[in-house]
Amino acid sequence: MMSSESSPLFAGSIPQFYAQYLVPMLFEPYAADLAARVADMRPNRVLELAAGTGVVTRHLARVLTHDVTIIATDLSQPMLDQAAQTASVRPVEWCQADAQRLPFPDQSFDVVVCQFGVMFFADKVQAFSEARRVLRPQGQFIFNVWDRVENNEFADTVLQAVRPLFRADRPPFLTRIPHGYFDPAVIQDDLVRAGFTRLPRISTMTAQSRADAPHLPAMALCQGTPMRNELEAQEPDVLQVATEQASAAMAARFGTGAVEGQMQALVVVAEAG
């Protein structure tokens, strides 16, 4: 999930919370979808950007034949360390790398894939240009981004609960970054500026997010994302207050037992000319 944005920090206990709570609750269905799409492209070499704790990587390892090379990168070494702790069914090359300055030769991959990472790139056009540079002719760049927060019920519920704890002049992390890059026209323009001459294919994918109890999404989003850093920077007890308020809001909206809510993302496929 992490790449080149300077302010969010995926370190400390965040990678563990991220892997334990966020991955099964939010990312698994989208990871399976991306991996299946990549498999349909029949690549020989695949590069993953912003691999985070490796959920897409593990799906790729399962669906791609063993002769396909998979290189998974992320800017955050703690996230890669967490990813490497979970065994995959086949060897994967893990590599710390900045998506804006990829350490790979031109035209060296058939597919570049990124799950919920491009929102973090400080210079998206530069990162997209790097993806295009390392793609072979007719290679595919495939990524997904979260739709607006209002279309993602768990995130929206938590955000509304904790918003009063943030400064009025700075949007919280959830709206500023994860749910801040969802306009198809903006995405298309950035890809064109990066050198993708063919218009991308952009589709919407809706899925269901599930958790065994309402406090789990609250804990995941408050403590397993860089929103934790923003909360802890205020007062010593704000993180706990935010988690409790978010838990109460989740229970009020979804009930006190197992909870389920809609989530929505955009899937983008751009072909290198």
Rounded to an integer, what distance in angstroms lies between the CA atom of residue 268 and that of residue 46? 17
pLDDT-derived band of residue 229, with 50, 70 and 90 as boundaries? confident
Residue 9 lies in a domain: no
Is 256 among the domain residues? yes
Q: What is the pLDDT of residues 79-113, one digit of tens each?
A: 898 888 876 788 899 999 999 999 999 999 999 99
Q: Classify residue 206: in a domain, yes or no.
A: yes
Alpha carbon distance, N-terminus to C-terminus of the chain: 27
Q: Is residue 4 part of a domain?
A: no
- Full residue range of the structural domain in which residue 251 is found: 14-271
Helix 238-254 to helix 153-162 angle, to the nearest 10 degrees?
130
Residue 70 tokens read as 């998979």
Assigned domain for 163 exists? yes
Of 7-16, 190-199, 229-238, 263-272, which range is least confident? 7-16
Task: Please check the confidence at residue 244 and state whether its pLDDT lies above 60.
Answer: yes
Domain CATH for 224: 3.40.50.150
2 lies in some domain? no
Q: What percent of the chain has pLDDT over 70?
A: 93
pLDDT at 10 over 60: no
Is the pLDDT confidence value at 14 over 80? no
Mean pLDDT of all residues belonging to the chain: 91
Say what the pTM is: 0.91
Binning pLDDT at 50, 70 and 90, where does residue 172 land?
confident
Instruction: Specify the number of domains making up the chain.
Output: 1
Domain assignment present for residue 6? The answer is no
Contacts of 226 (CB under 8 A, 6+ apart): 7, 8, 9, 10, 14, 173, 177
The pLDDT score that the predictor gives to residue 4 is: 42
Question: Does residue 216 carry a pLDDT above 70?
Answer: yes
Q: Report yes or no on 102 lying in a domain.
A: yes
